[in-house]
Structure 1
Amino acid sequence: MDFWEFSCMSLGAAFVVYYGLKLILFGRMLLPNFFFPLPKSFFSSMGEWAVVTGASEGIGRAYAFALAERGLNVVIISRTKEKLDKVAQKISDTTDQKVKVLVADFTKDNAINSIEDELKGMNIGVLVNNVAMLVSTLPEKFLASPNLDQMITKIINCNVKTMAKMCKVILPGMVDRGSGVIINISSGAAAIPFPLYTLYSASKIFVERVSQGLQVEYKDRGIIIQAVAPYSVSTQMNFYQPTSTFVLSPEDFVSSSLQYLRVGDRIYGSLIHTMMVRHRVMSVCTLPRGMLFSDSMQKNLQEYVRIQNQNGSHKTQALQ
């Protein structure tokens, strides 16, 4: 056997092993309760309280309910007290768990200071960093944003700084106890460069890299730190698209994502969203970069989102 034959055989064997392992892992995801089981008392064993940012609606609200249903008291944080109070009342009525409401505007520079004071001495077992914002409801180029300087600061404060600082506040207690879970919500928009959502998608890359780095640093202390990157979920940010095979309700998405808590440091939260990314099903990842980044594609995206925004606005008014 000459050098080239050996090299080709080695490369082929490596290819088979690599994709074989990926296939095995994906097969395990079909049965998460069997391959990645969590005891019924898993979350309550982490601590007494869960903290959820951006909890007044959507994915954050669904996490708050799900964690309360799993035996945790919850601290819910957002900037609209009226919405938080309604969520708190419903959680209390349906789960009998304690709920603490904290009001904070995470776009402000010092939003974490008052939160840190309120959380001192609490036995916090789970943190969900969910709060985030878009530059604009409609996709637009970087320089098109009005008050761009202020918007850059708001995006960094809300999407980037808040996640890192909440970890800084809560992680030490988890390290001392030797247990805890931190779930940082990323986005499918972080999978590739995403023109017209440039700042948002870049901020979600930060979320993923910090999560993965922290997991390496603290996994030996009994702490799970995971980035969760959803694709389409029917929320206000997604204009309340009708649920379907590919568009999940916040409740279904959160229920699914918690089943995959032990899969790894970065997940897509559901089997269908994993298939969309890894197996290129109904995903923008399937498109050639030249097509994806073309002017016509960007204009089509703007028009599509404009129509979805109008439909979502009508739906919100009808619900009110």
Structure 2
Amino acid sequence: MDLKELFLIALGTAVIFFYVVKLLLFSRMLFPKMWFPLSKSFFTSMGEWAVVTGSSEGIGRAYAFALAKQGMNVVIMSRTKVKLDQVAKEIGDTTGQRVKVIVTDFMKDNVFSEIEDQLKDLNIGVLVNNVGTLPSFIPCKFLESAELDQAITNVINCNVKTMAKVRFLFFGKKKKNFFFYLYRGKGVIVNISSGVASIPFPLYTLYAASKVFVERFSQGLQAEYKDKGIIIQTVAPFGVSTRLAGYQSTNIVTLSPEDFVKSSLQYVRAGDKTHGSVCHIVLGWLLQSIPLKFLYSELMLHSLQDYVKKKTAQKAPSSTFESGKNK
């Protein structure tokens, strides 16, 4: 056997080994309870309080309920006081846990010092950064967006700046304000991104790009603070039946907020990024496997627009699709 044959055999073996390992790692995601088990006291061991932004409805509300059911007191934030008060009452009545309401609009500037004052004395162990805004419910090309300048400002303030600023409050310069008490060596940050950030996504260009920031910023922070025992994870869902998704009917792909959150919490120890559920993990794999030329064809883009418009028309009598609101 000559050197060339040996090289080809070694190369083939290495490729096979690489894909076998990749397949094994992927298969772990299908069985999170087996591979990433959590003790019953996992979340309460992080601290007494959980903070959830954008928690008046949808995914944020579901996270607040789920963490309260785990035994944590919760701080809920959004800009709609009536909704927050209702959620606070429901959580308190259902779980018996304490709930603190903070009314704030993350699309505005200079809201963070007030938030810091209201959180500084709490023993906080979990932060869920869920707040976000969609420039336009109906997908459209970037330059065709209504009130484009304001949309850019809203998305940057809400989806980008908030991610960095909220962390600054808790990793702040004063030791007493260290959100996860770095010297204590524990804490969880969950940042909600989106499945559309998996690839450059036409018609949702601004929104998808802002969610890429969420992922990269989170992954960088995890690398910086992993040795401190802090978990920083991006959760990137696809279909979840929320206002921003047009309250789609639930099915095997489109999950209710409650079902999605219940599933996603099982992946907390699964790495710095997860799609949060088995079906969404498979969707993420499929999306990255489809040639972009096919996804970016005019036929596909028009089909997406027509589909969303149709769903909007069906839901319009009972639902409001306002852009620029916290999730």
Aligned 1:1-320 pairs, distance under 5 A: 1-171=1-171, 172-174=178-180, 175-278=182-285, 280=286, 283=287, 285-316=288-319
Give the whole-Å Cα distance in 2 for the aligned partners of 1:315 and 1:19: 48
- Percent identity at matched positions? 59
Q: Retained in 2: the 8 A contact 1:291–1:297?
A: yes
What secondary structure sits across from 1:45 in the alignment? Answer: coil
Give the whole-Å Cα distance in 2 for the aligned partners of 1:98 and 1:212: 32
What secondary structure sits across from 2:248 in the alignment? Answer: coil
Give the whole-Å Cα distance in 1 for the aligned partners of 2:244 and 2:319: 12
Runs of 4+, deviation exceeding 4 Å: none
Q: Which has the higher helix share?
A: 1
1:315: how far off? 4.4
What secondary structure sits across from 1:306 in the alignment? Answer: helix
Q: Structure 1 unaligned segments of length 5 or more: list them.
A: none
The change in CA–CA distance for 1:17 and 1:104 in structure 2 (over 3 A counts) is same
Larger displacement relative to structure 2 (254-263 or 302-311): 302-311
Give the whole-Å Cα distance in 1 for the aligned partners of 2:21 and 2:247: 37
Give the whole-Å Cα distance in 1 for the aligned partners of 2:166 and 2:22: 33
Cα-to-partner distance string for 1:242-265 (whole Å, 9 max, x where unaligned): 111111111111011110111110
1:145: how far off? 1.8
Give the whole-Å Cα distance in 1 for the aligned partners of 2:193 and 2:2: 48
Matched residues, number: 313
Point out which structure has higher relative CO (alpha carbons under 8 A, 6+ apart).
Answer: 2
1:26: how far off? 2.8
Give the whole-Å Cα distance in 2 for the aligned partners of 1:148 and 1:119: 34
Q: Structure 2 unaligned segments of length 5 or more: list them.
A: 172-177, 321-327
1:6: how far off? 3.4
Give the whole-Å Cα distance in 2 for the aligned partners of 1:200 and 1:161: 14
Cα-to-partner distance string for 1:14-67 (whole Å, 9 max, x where unaligned): 222222122222332333222211110110010010000010111000000000
What secondary structure sits across from 1:100 in the alignment? Answer: strand
1:3: how far off? 4.5
RMSD over equivalenced CA pairs, Å:
1.5
Give the whole-Å Cα distance in 2 for the aligned partners of 1:101 and 1:45: 23
Cα-to-partner distance string for 1:129-187 (whole Å, 9 max, x where unaligned): 00111111111111112322221111000000101111111243311321100000010
Give the whole-Å Cα distance in 2 for the aligned partners of 1:313 and 1:122: 41
Larger displacement relative to structure 2 (308-317 or 17-26): 308-317
What TM-score do the two structures reach when normalised by structure 2?
A: 0.92
What secondary structure sits across from 2:44 in the alignment? Answer: helix
